[in-house]
Amino acid sequence: MKHQPTIAAADSGLARTANANASRDEVTTSDLYRAAWAASLGSALEYYDFALYNLASALIFGPLFFPSSDPAIALIASFGAYFLGFAIRPVGGIIFGALGDRYGRKFVLMATILLMGIASTLIGLLPTYASAGIWAPVLLVGCRLLQGLGAGAEQAGAAVLMAEYAPAKRRGYFAALPFMGVLLGTVMAAAIYFALVRVEDVSQSWLWRVPFLLSVFIIAVAIWIRLKLKESPSFSKLEARHQINDSPLKHLIKHSKPTLLKVIGMRMAENGGSSIYQSLAISYMATATGLKGPIGPVALLLAAVSGAVIIPLTGKLSDRFGRVPVYRAFALYQLLLAFPTWWVLSQGNATASIAMLCVALAGVWGMFATQGALLPELFGAQHRYAGVAVGREVSAVIAGGVAPLIGASIIAWATAHWGGAEGRILAWIPLASYVAILSLIGVVTTYYTPETRGRDLDDLRDASDAC
C-alpha cells in the first residue's frame, strides 16, 4: 500500500515500522468480507431494535406503559420515550466515537453491540403499567437510554470500519453493504410483528415480549464474528506512525465544525424521512385512517425488501457518478414525493398505502447507502470515528428523534382544531410539509459539500481542507 508522507513518519526507523505493520495488516478478500459481515450484523441488531421500538411505539407501548383515556396523548407519551433514546445518542456518539479514535474501531464495536443487545433484551422482561405502575415507563425509558448510548456509535463504527477496509475504487459499494444489515433488522422486526398481530391483540398477551428477547441471539452471532476481525488498516497505520490523537473530540471541534454542519444538514433529509415513514406514517395509518393490524409491518417488510436492491445499486452508482450527485438525486426524489405520498396515505386504501410507503422509502434507502462512504470520507483519519458518530447522532436527535413526536403532536392538534376524525385525516397536509422541509435542507446542503469519491482515507485533513 502507498502511504502519504507525514512528519511523524519522517524517521526512517518509524517508516520501516509503518511499512511492516501495513504488510502485516494487508486486507485480504476474506478480511474484507468478514468486516462486511461484522458491520452488517451490528447494523442488523441496531435496526432490529430500531424497527421493533418504532412498531411497538406506534402499536402497543401506549396502552402497556402510558395508559390514558385519550389515545392521542398515549401516542405522544410513547413517542416521547422513543425520542429520549434519540436524545441520548449524541452522548453515546461522543463517548464511543472518541474511544474509537483512541483505542480502535474493533474495541468500540464490541462494546456498543453488547450495550444495545442487553438493553433490548431487558425491554422484553419489563413489567407493564398494570403491574408496576409508574415504574414501568421509568424502566422502559431507562432501557431506551441504554439502547441510545450504544446505538450512538454502532452505525458510525460500521460505516467507518467498512470504508477503511474497502478498496478506493469500490468503496461506495462495499461501504453500502453494512446498510443491508439495516434491512435485515427491519425485515426481521416487521416479519415478527406481522406474525404476532395476526394471532391476537399482541398488547394483551406476553407475546409482545418475544421480539425483544430474540435480540440475544443476534448479539451472540455478531460478537463471535467481531472477535475474529482485524483492526481497520487506517487505524493500524495511525498506531504505527504514532499519529493517534489523545483528544480526538477536542481535535474534531477545533478543525471540523463546518464538516459536522454538512453532515447534520444532509442527514435532516435521510434520518428525518426514515423516522417519519417508518414510525409516524404507520401510526397515522392506524389512528387516522383505520388501517390497523398487519398493514404497518407489511409495508415496512416490503419496503425493506425493495431496499435490498436499492442499497447495493446505489453504492455502485456513487462509485461511478460521485457521492454528492447521487445523494442529491435521492433527496430531490423524497422532496418531490412528499405531498403525493401523504395524500395517498390519507385515502385509507391499504394496498395503495403499502405501495406508496415502499416508493417513498426508496429515497431514504438511496441516501442511506450513499452515506456509507460519503460520511467517513469527509473526515480526517485522526478524528473520523468521532466525526461520523457526532455528526450522525446530533442530526438523529434534530431530525429522526423529534420527528415522530412533532408528527404525533400535529395529528393531535389537527384532531382538536380541524374537527375530530376528519381533522385527523387532514393532518396529512402539515405532515407532508414537514417531510418537504427536511428534504429541502438535505438538497441545499449537498451544494456546500465537497465530492469525496476516491479520497485517501490516510489523509489527516478533512475533505473540505484537502480540496
Question: Quick one: the chain helix, strand, coil %, rounded to 5?
Answer: 85, 0, 15
State the CB neighbour count (10 A cutoff) for residue 246.
9
Quick one: average pLDDT of 398-415?
82
Q: Where are the domains of the chain?
A: 27-228+255-466
Give yes or no for residue 423 having a pLDDT over 90. Answer: no
Give yes or no for residue 6 having a pLDDT over 50. Answer: no
Structure-block grid coordinates of residue 34? 468478514
pLDDT digits (tens, 9 = 90+) for 69-82: 566 666 677 667 76
**CA dist., res. 178 & res. 182, Å (int):** 7
What's the Cα-to-Cα distance from 248 to each of 98, 243, 284, rounded to whole Å?
6, 11, 42
3-state DSSP assignment of residue 28: coil
Are the beta carbons of 74 and 66 closer than 8 angstroms? Answer: yes
Give the model's pLDDT for residue 103: 92
Are the beta carbons of 115 and 94 closer than 8 angstroms? Answer: no
**CA dist., res. 228 & res. 187, Å (int):** 27
Give yes or no for residue 333 having a pLDDT over 80. Answer: yes
H or E stretch at 358: helix 350-378
Quick one: average pLDDT of 73-94?
76
pLDDT digits (tens, 9 = 90+) for 168-188: 999 999 999 888 887 787 778
Mean confidence (pLDDT) of the chain: 83
**CA dist., res. 451 & res. 439, Å (int):** 20
Total number of residues shown for the chain? 467
Give the model's pLDDT for residue 100: 93
What is the chain's Cα-based Rg?
A: 22
Give yes or no for residue 143 having a pLDDT over 90. Answer: no
Give the model's pLDDT for residue 89: 82
Give the model's pLDDT for residue 413: 85
State the CB neighbour count (10 A cutoff) for residue 203.
17
Residue 111 vs residue 56, higher pLDDT: 111
Residue 119: band (very low, low, confident or very high) from pLDDT cuts 50, 70, 90: confident
Give yes or no for residue 13 having a pLDDT over 50. Answer: no
| Intra-chain end-to-end CA distance of the chain, in Å | 23
Structure-block grid coordinates of residue 75? 401516542
Q: How much is the pTM?
A: 0.82
The residues, any chain, with a CB within 8 Å of residue 405's CB and separated by 6 or more, are 76, 79, 80, 82, 83
Structure-block grid coordinates of residue 465? 481542507
Give yes or no for residue 20 having a pLDDT over 80. Answer: no
Are the beta carbons of 208 and 60 closer than 8 angstroms? Answer: yes
Residue 381 has what DSSP assignment? G
Of these ranges, 34-38, 268-272, 324-328, the one predicted with the greatest mean pLDDT is 324-328
Quick one: average pLDDT of 150-162?
85
Range of lowest pLDDT (10-14, 156-160, 212-216, 385-389): 10-14
pLDDT digits (tens, 9 = 90+) for 198-226: 666 666 667 778 888 888 887 788 788 88
Quick one: average pLDDT of 388-395?
90
State the CB neighbour count (10 A cutoff) for residue 419.
12
Are the beta carbons of 288 and 75 closer than 8 angstroms? Answer: no
Percent of the chain at pLDDT exceeding 90? 38
Q: What is the largest CA-CA distance in the chain?
A: 77
Quick one: average pLDDT of 77-95?
78
Give the model's pLDDT for residue 3: 44
CATH number of the domain at 27-228+255-466, out of 1.20.1250.20, 3.40.50.1370, 2.40.50.140, 3.40.50.720? 1.20.1250.20
Are the beta carbons of 429 and 301 closer than 8 angstroms? Answer: no
Give yes or no for residue 1 having a pLDDT over 70. Answer: no
Give the model's pLDDT for residue 58: 65
**CA dist., res. 392 & res. 370, Å (int):** 14
> What does the DSSP assignment read for 384-409?
HHHHHHHHHHHHIIIIIIHHHHHHHH
Angle between helices 215-227 and 105-123 (to 10 degrees): 170
Give the model's pLDDT for residue 45: 75
H or E stretch at 185: helix 178-199
3-state DSSP assignment of residue 383: helix
> What does the DSSP assignment read for 205-270?
SGGGGHHHHTHHHHHHHHHHHHHTPPPPHHHHHHHHTT---S-HHHHHHHH-HHHHHHHHHHHHHH
Give the model's pLDDT for residue 203: 61
Give the model's pLDDT for residue 23: 39
**CA dist., res. 198 & res. 324, Å (int):** 43
**CA dist., res. 415 & res. 406, Å (int):** 14
Give yes or no for residue 330 having a pLDDT over 60. Answer: yes
